[in-house]
């Protein structure tokens, strides 16, 4: 048993490995302390932030500052900061739960997330001793607030194309930064900016820039579609004087910080998406019970039930997947020695390990959030279009999530890209597996699937993995180095991998719950899993088919399609019936429950 505990998973390995329920962390593993931390956050947001949302939406940012300081007093800003620098140094599950519960705060959750996440973490992970001593105690309490300045008017997804420059002054004491950073969250009030600039116009480097430094200013507040509770401005650097000791990490190695911090930002965003989706379900279920048409609460109509059930089943799968990633991070980070924790390279390697998982979660959970917000408005009908209803703001707030922290398109392309890199480096035997699969398929006989709980879902999961390998292997064979140009195929492969990750997380979580609490107590989890896996499998099949058709033709294509049919053959689940069962529970409880 102790061996399984020590087992450390390589990023992306889930595609070719079979996992056991004990291999993943699930929300059912949370401790009493975790629940208490979640409750404190929930109560703080409901009691202090929500009453001020109208003011925040109106850009009265003095309240944002005040609320962050209050959050700091409760310890809600110091979870990821080590104890020796004035933080709490708690585990990743604790900080994730805080992120999840902050989603009720709408745009203010972005304010909070930018401070504790991309604003503070670069110093936590990559700061030197003096920088940590100087800044972290202030950031952990909220005495100073942080922002992250990477994007420029001309460089978004292409972050390394930044034009901001840094030049050492003659005395050798300061860098002079020149350029403009765009769409910087918290810029109205942040005291500290993590700024990326190119030293001598070439070497991409991160700097800690204080607002008070000469030459630093901010532009006008942007007029945005959503997350209006957060401040967004340009940061203008005009011969901004940054002391040499404020170079973060190594000169010319800023991309290591930028990309790894984005990884963390991505999974945190995914957690927020799951939290927001739970709120969307709750608002929708309550409304559907209250609202009557034809003398009937609309929650009695099965088409409304279908919406609630789909929202909940998808939320379950995403929640399982996101906390699965949190568990992976926690395991890897807690295994780092103190020495390694102070070495930016070791930390970066640990974070980069799960780049694929972070991108998958980001894409999936932000699209979940958008789907839920959209359906929540739909369930509210015309009222959902009116600003008195929370879902109206939710709908506008959710839209940015598919865009920032790397667009979902960029994140999709990153998935096959990094998997292929890992395969080339020999870290993942993907190609060998793909070849072995082709041989296996020739011999494959139809399999009898039992009727025990989860047997069907495990069968579909196993086959989805094979279908993914089949499609990816074929595309790699056909296009070789030019596969990079076939973005539609790459996105298809990313989507298949994403479904596999979510399906597996749901299956393993449900299995773990059944082992622990029995089938009856896990009945809703089982329903969610059955519905999600069936629908996800259908999507996998469609994506794979499209990929095969785009990669082959004629007899070879027909042969490949028939090989795939061997893998897709199954007795489908009646999802309509299962969704009605799910909806019954959601309508009864008027919220997302498991």
For residue 148, give the nearest of 128, 125, 175 by alpha carbon: 125
Question: What are 179's two structure tokens?
Answer: 């350029």
Nearer to other proteins, 43 or 553 (CB): 43
Residue placing its CB nearer to other proteins in the complex, 27 or 78: 78
- 388 as an active site residue: the answer is no
Which among 367, 390, 405, 504 is annotated as catalytic? Answer: 405
Sign of the Cα torsion 321, 323, 329, 330 reads negative
Please say whether the beta carbons of 178 and 228 come within 8 A.
no
The pairing of strands 296-297 and 292-293 is antiparallel
Smallest distance from the beta carbon of 285 to other proteins, in angstroms? 13
> How near is the Cβ of 136 to other proteins at its closest, in Å?
16
Whose Cβ is closer to other proteins: residue 69's or residue 478's? 69
Token pair of 124 as six digits: 């936590």
CB of 593 to other proteins, least distance (A): 7
Query: Shortest distance, CB of residue 73 to other proteins, whole angstroms?
Result: 7
Query: Which of 275, 467, 271 is CA-nearest to residue 357?
Result: 271
Least distance (Å) between residue 521 CB and other proteins:
9
Rg (CA), the chain: 24
We find the least distance from the C-beta atom of residue 417 to other proteins, in angstroms, to be 38
Nearer to other proteins, 455 or 589 (CB): 589
Rounded CA-CA distance 417/428 in Å is: 13
Report which of 227, 62, 241 is spatially closest to residue 167, judged by C-alpha positions. 241
CB atoms near residue 132 (< 10 Å):
20
State the nearest-atom distance from the C-beta of 589 to other proteins, in Å.
8
Count of CB atoms situated within 10 Å of the CB of 204:
22
Q: 548: closest CA among 470, 491, 494? A: 470
Question: Which is nearest to 267 in space by CA: 315, 227, 316, 321?
Answer: 321
Positions that interact with other proteins (CB under 8 A): 32-33, 35-37, 39-40, 43-44, 47, 73-76, 78-79, 88, 90, 94, 589, 593
Q: Which two tokens mark 88? A: 């709490």
C-alpha triplet 438, 440, 456: angle, nearest 5°: 110
Q: Which is nearer to other proteins, 93 or 177 (CB)?
A: 93
Q: Which residues contact 384 (CB under 8 A, 6 or more apart)?
A: 376, 377, 378, 391, 392, 395
Nearer to other proteins, 89 or 252 (CB): 89
Comparing CB distances to other proteins, the nearer of 2 and 295 is 295
User: Which residues lie across from 236 on neighbouring strands?
Assistant: 180, 217
Alpha carbon distance 536, 176 (integer Å): 52
Active-site residue set: 405
């Amino acid at each position: 048993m102790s061996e399984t505990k020590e087992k450390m998973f390589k990023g992306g390995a889930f595609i070719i490995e079979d996992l056991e329920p004990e291999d993943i962390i699930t929300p059912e593993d949370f401790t009493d302390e975790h629940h208490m931390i979640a409750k404190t956050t929930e109560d703080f947001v409901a009691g202090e932030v929500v009453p001020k949302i109208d003011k925040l939406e109106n850009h009265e940012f003095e309240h944002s500052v005040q609320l962050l300081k209050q959050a700091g007093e409760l310890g809600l800003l110091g979870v990821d900061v080590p104890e020796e620098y004035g933080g709490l140094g708690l585990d990743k599950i604790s900080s994730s739960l805080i992120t999840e519960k902050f989603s009720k705060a709408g745009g203010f959750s972005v304010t909070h997330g930018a401070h504790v996440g991309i604003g503070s973490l670069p110093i936590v992970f990559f700061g030197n001793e003096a920088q940590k001593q100087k800044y972290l105690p202030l950031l952990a309490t909220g005495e100073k607030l942080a922002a992250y300045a990477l994007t420029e008017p001309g460089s978004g997804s292409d972050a390394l194309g930044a034009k901001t420059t840094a030049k050492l002054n003659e005395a050798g004491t300061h860098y002079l930064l020149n350029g403009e950073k765009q769409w910087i969250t918290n810029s109205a009030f942040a005291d500290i900016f993590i700024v990326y600039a190119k030293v001598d116009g070439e070497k991409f480097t991160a700097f800690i820039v204080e607002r008070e430094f000469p030459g630093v200013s901010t532009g006008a507040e942007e007029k945005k579609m959503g997350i209006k509770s957060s401040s967004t401005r340009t940061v203008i650097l005009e011969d901004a004087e940054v002391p040499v000791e404020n170079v973060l990490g190594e000169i010319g190695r800023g991309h290591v910080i930028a990309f790894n911090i984005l990884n963390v930002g991505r999974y945190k965003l995914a957690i927020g998406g799951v939290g927001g989706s739970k709120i969307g379900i709750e608002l929708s279920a309550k409304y559907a019970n209250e609202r009557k048409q034809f003398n009937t609460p609309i929650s009695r109509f099965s088409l409304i039930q279908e919406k609630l059930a789909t929202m909940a089943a998808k939320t379950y799968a995403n929640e399982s997947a996101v906390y699965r990633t949190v568990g992976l991070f926690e395991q890897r980070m807690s295994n780092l020695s103190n020495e390694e924790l102070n070495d930016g390279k070791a930390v970066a390697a640990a974070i980069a390990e799960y780049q694929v998982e972070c991108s998958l979660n980001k894409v999936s959970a932000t699209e979940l959030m958008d789907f839920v917000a959209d359906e929540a408005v739909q369930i509210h009908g015309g009222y959902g279009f009116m600003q008195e209803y929370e879902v109206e703001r939710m709908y506008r707030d959710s839209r940015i999530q598919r865009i920032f922290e790397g667009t979902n398109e960029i994140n999709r392309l990153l998935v096959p890209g990094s998997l292929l890199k890992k395969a080339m480096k020999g870290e993942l035997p993907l190609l060998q597996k793909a070849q072995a699969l082709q041989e296996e398929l020739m011999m494959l006989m139809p399999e009898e699937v039992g009727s025990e709980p989860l047997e069907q879902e495990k069968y579909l999961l196993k086959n989805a993995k094979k279908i993914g390998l089949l499609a990816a292997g074929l595309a790699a064979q056909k296009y070789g180095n030019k596969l990079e140009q076939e973005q539609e195929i790459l996105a298809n492969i990313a989507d298949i991998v994403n479904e596999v990750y979510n399906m597996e997380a749901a299956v393993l979580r449900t299995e773990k719950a059944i082992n622990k609490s029995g089938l009856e107590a896990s009945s809703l989890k089982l329903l969610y899993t059955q519905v999600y896996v069936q629908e996800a499998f259908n999507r996998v099949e469609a994506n794979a088919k499209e990929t095969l058709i785009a990669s082959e033709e004629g007899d070879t294509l027909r042969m490949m399609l028939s090989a795939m049919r061997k893998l897709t053959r199954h007795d489908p689940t009646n999802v309509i019936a299962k969704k009605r069962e799910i909806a019954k529970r959601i309508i009864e409880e008027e919220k997302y429950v498991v």
